[in-house]
Structure 1
Amino acid sequence: MDAFGDLLRGVRAQGSLFGSSTLSPPWALRFVDGAPLTLCTVIAGAGWIVPEHRPPERLRAGETVIVRGPAPFTFVDEVGTRAEPVACGEHCATPEQGGTRHRRGWNDRGDADDGATTLIVGAYPVHGEISRRLLDALPVVLRVPPGGESDPIWDHLAAEVAADTPGQQVVLDRLLDWMLVCALREYFDRPGGEPPAWYAAQRDPVVGDALRLLHTEPAAPWTVSSLADRTGVSRSTLAKRFAELVGEPPLTYLTRWRMTLAADLLAEREAATVAEVARAVGYSDAFAFSAAFKRIRGISPSGFRRTATAVSQQPTGTPTGAH
């Protein structure tokens, strides 16, 4: 598994079709209690993405934006639209189901008109510390213009929305997953971009191999020498290139990655003991693991588990829409 793919584990759209008929002006869709990531692409028409405390962004047919939550944002026909907020009721999904969902347009008149807009949304309930590393690398609003590798996926999305066939929701969800990965790659690979160090380093033939090994076998008893042997270079060459490209030594990176994995295991596997989690991430000594976890995370494994459990038991809110 590569570093980028590892951070996308478990990121799946669910209930992602939003406004499959017509949205006739004036209209406004407000996303509250939002998912950490929301992908919006316009199949027909146009509108404005309005994040909280940030300038509006025009979104036209064929364009895609990814909005990083959890702050609310609005998609409107025009900035300052006359649309008034209303609850979207039974057609909404909770954040655990993938965020806001609406199977029909708010202002569904049956037949499309020249001012109608079709919006497709994939709302992603990104859970855990693994995917948080991805979120931390993203801006609040990420725009992907037409003309890149996402275009064929957009064509499939448009065709699927028009067909209205059995199993459509599943197909749309998976297409949006594909769109999300391609959109993120386009953003990180854009000319003049500043991708996170771990992403850019994957393209290096030596450091990229080392990262793949660390992510594929995080519990292995790695040393710099054994990692260098597996990548076919000297110990000094690997240590130098890894630190230059990733920004920290290989074993420091490995420790941070192991503690990220451990954090999710502690939060998800309540029956697992600290010693079992320690062994799962490569520590035979639970005391050494606990010391490393507290050094990296600032809290003991048991304390982290108690906090994560308390957060997971908090009630969630209900999304709303407007028209």
Structure 2
Amino acid sequence: MTENPKTVPKRRGAPLPTSASPADLRHPAADVFFEVFSIARMRGELLGETYLQPGQVLQRSAGAACFHVIQDAGCRLRLDGDGATTPLAPGDILFVPHGQGHRLESAAADTLPRITSGLFHFEGGCGQALLQGLPGLLHVSCQGADQSDPIGSREWLALTVAAMQKEVRNPSIGSAIMLSRIIDLMFIWAVRHWLAHAPQGIGGWIAALRDPLIGQALALLHAEPGAPWSVERLAGLVNQSRSSLTQRFARLVGQSPMRYLTHWRMQLAGQRLQTSRLRVSQIAEQLGYESEAAFSRAFRRAFGVAPSEYRTLA
């Protein structure tokens, strides 16, 4: 799929690279995820601790995305609409990124589970893009050794949780900032753990980053979002045919390369309108549009309002 001929970006700025150098793409997935996560601006906060008495239930209704850290004793998780029960052990981390309703039930009679809970949200325009493709539950257990966990999620999460507990018990200057950053780390480690264990072929751009070819393609688009991209040019840089790249990209990411690029340009446009004093024409030029009018039409299709109106609403 290509953009409307009237809004196809023209060549501006530095020329595109003619080949994909291994040095340029050493960590394409890391670079893409970092960029989206940074623009999404995750914000987390703790709600407090709950000691579950035998037979007691900690209920959370559907709504805000949340997380739980299980300490001292095990418990059980039930997601609304799902009859299955997930056993949880001390040290386990849970993120419910889509805010699905759920309940935690005590599973021990002698030692009370201590559950630290919190909320998180994304302030930036890329928040929804970041959550797309994630499952309804991110669950990492810190119990035992796991030879199938090459990234060491369990070890690092245990250290992160220990840092959070220390900050809660001994608050000082900047504790709120420290806790927010710790929640960021827990979320990233939970995503990495899920990616390490998720089956191949699942959709969504985060999972697609595991694929070396699509990871390179995404890295190229993110590195030069304002360049005059076409499927042919992108396919040539990753040594694929046009049809092969399009099919593989659509299967793993969920949309065509050019549709993904247009969506990403609009996310960048929204972020720059909110956080900079750049004129609309300047943003349009940075993102490769041949005129402010062409950019404004694309922006209105994406957000339902003109760029100038979007800026006043931010």
TM-score (norm 1): 0.65
SS in 1 for 2:229: coil
CA displacement at 1:285 relative to structure 2:
0.8
Pick aligned residue for 2:90 from 61, 72, 78: 61
Q: How many residues align?
A: 266
SS in 2 for 1:215: helix
CA displacement at 1:200 relative to structure 2:
4.5
> Which amino acid counterpart does residue 18 of structure 1 have in structure 2?
G
Distance across 2 between alignment mates of 1:304 and 1:189? 42
The answer as to 2:153 corresponding to 1:153 is no
Distance across 1 between alignment mates of 2:201 and 2:260? 20
Any conservation in 2 of the 1:219–1:282 contact (CA below 8 Å)? yes
* Distance change in 2, residues 1:118/1:274 (3 Å): same
CA displacement at 1:28 relative to structure 2:
4.5
* Distance change in 2, residues 1:226/1:42 (3 Å): same
Distance across 2 between alignment mates of 1:8 and 1:289? 24
Which residue pairs with 1:291 in the alignment? 297
Which residue pairs with 2:249 in the alignment? 246
Distance across 2 between alignment mates of 1:210 and 1:145? 33
> Which amino acid counterpart does residue 177 of structure 1 have in structure 2?
D
Structure 2 residues without counterparts, runs of 5 or longer: 1-29
Which residue pairs with 1:18 in the alignment? 48
Distance across 1 between alignment mates of 2:177 and 2:280? 38
Pick aligned residue for 1:198 from 201, 205, 222: 205
Which residue pairs with 1:179 in the alignment? 186
TM-score (norm 2): 0.67
SS in 1 for 2:222: helix
* Distance change in 2, residues 1:63/1:281 (3 Å): same
Which residue pairs with 2:17 in the alignment? none
Which residue pairs with 2:67 in the alignment? 39
Pick aligned residue for 1:305 from 306, 310, 314: 310
Higher relative contact order (CA 8 A, sep 6+): 1
Distance across 2 between alignment mates of 1:281 and 1:132? 21
Structure 1 residues without counterparts, runs of 5 or longer: 79-112, 313-323
Mapping of residues 101-112 of structure 1, within 5 Å: none
Distance across 2 between alignment mates of 1:41 and 1:194? 30
Any conservation in 2 of the 1:187–1:193 contact (CA below 8 Å)? no
Distance across 2 between alignment mates of 1:71 and 1:197? 19
Pick aligned residue for 1:210 from 211, 217, 222: 217
CA displacement at 1:228 relative to structure 2:
5.6
SS in 1 for 2:225: coil
SS in 2 for 1:45: coil
Post-superposition CA distance 1:262-315 (Å, at most 9, x none)? 24445x3596654344234322412211333345x3734359728x93xx7xxx
Runs of 4+ in 1 over 6 A off after TM superposition: none
Pick aligned residue for 1:130 from 126, 129, 135: 126
SS in 2 for 1:121: strand
Task: Provide the alpha-carbon RMSD of the alignment.
Answer: 3.7
CA displacement at 1:132 relative to structure 2:
0.6
> Which amino acid counterpart does residue 25 of structure 1 have in structure 2?
Q
